[in-house]
Amino acid sequence: MDYIKAKIKNAENVKQKIMKRGMLDSGRPVKHSKSYVYFPVVIGMSKNKKVGVRRGYDILGNIAVIDFDGTRAMEKEFARQILERHRGVSTVLAKAGAVKGKYRTREFRHVLGKKNFTADYRENGCEFRFDVRKTFFSNRLSFERARITGLVGKKEKVMVLFSGIGPFAIEIAKAHRDAAVVGIELNRYASNAANDNIRINKVTNVHLVNGDVKTASNKYANFADRVIVLMPKQSLEFLDEILTVSKKRAKVHLYAFGASDTAYATVAKALKLHASQNGYRIREDSRRVVRPYSAREVEIVIDYTIRK
């Protein structure tokens, strides 16, 4: 297995360079030590030279999900290479549509190996089981989940909005047994899967609510020392709810999509405007590009502090 080693202070720049070269192996976890980050890279897999053929993949434990636009014969050969390289993978699926709907789900097509849609996935010392067709999940947020888990302090109360199958909530709860973690998720399947994952990981300090953030958040007014907002396409529509669940002083991690050259400015402007209109102050703590989302868009995260 091949990794590129980077000092923590240089990790984000190194990651972006690896991703631009198409070398990041998103099927394997990013590793961490006290001073370094280790990025898994693909070196040596045979590549199709046909111009215009897109090929990429994510590995969710026993399932590989490919993004491929060549012929079906080429697709099967690509799938065969993945099964050969990743011994823990028994199923290869292909994306069969875009992420859509209020639950952000997509369709998948079986390509090779065992016909199965239930992923058994491990990340940052936790285990997760879920049907890839029924919920949104991105292994590409593994680094973010580890990063934010490392920021949580003693006895914090943490609110995860749009918590899905529970990866942020469960990883934080497992690493910080003295924390109190609440997640809110509208998708009933995802919420049920999250409760199953709580049992799998044997955590007792996390509670997951199946409900609409717009209404369920009212039950947690002034609850959170830290708020994580995981609806990047619509996160700026939930600034009222973020304010509601936050204590007088709270840390917020807000994820958003935007044009690569204007995303930061757009989000920062919206945050400042909301603060001025609602009588509170914000201080931006950090900002970073999480991943490219399309040819012209990126996903960013802005960490900021609320002071009511």
| Range in 46-55, 92-101, 105-114, 161-170 with the lowest mean pLDDT | 46-55
- Domain of 161 in residue numbering reads as 140-307
pLDDT at 35 over 80: no
pLDDT, residue 288, reads 92
Q: Which of 71, 106, 131 is the last residue of a domain?
A: 131
- Total domains in the fold of the chain: 2
| Mean pLDDT computed over every residue of the chain | 90
In terms of domains, do 123 and 150 share one?
A: no
Domain harbouring 35, CATH code: 3.30.300.110
Q: Please tell me the pTM assigned to this model.
A: 0.83
pLDDT, residue 178, reads 98
pLDDT, residue 34, reads 64
pLDDT in tens, 104-124: 899 999 999 999 999 999 999
Q: Which of 109, 131, 153 is the last residue of a domain?
A: 131
Confidence of residue 292 (pLDDT cuts 50, 70, 90): confident
| Range in 4-18, 73-87, 213-227, 240-254 with the lowest mean pLDDT | 4-18
Confidence of residue 4 (pLDDT cuts 50, 70, 90): confident
In terms of domains, do 157 and 274 share one?
A: yes
Contact 31, 37 (CB under 8 A): yes
Confidence of residue 42 (pLDDT cuts 50, 70, 90): low
In terms of domains, do 157 and 284 share one?
A: yes
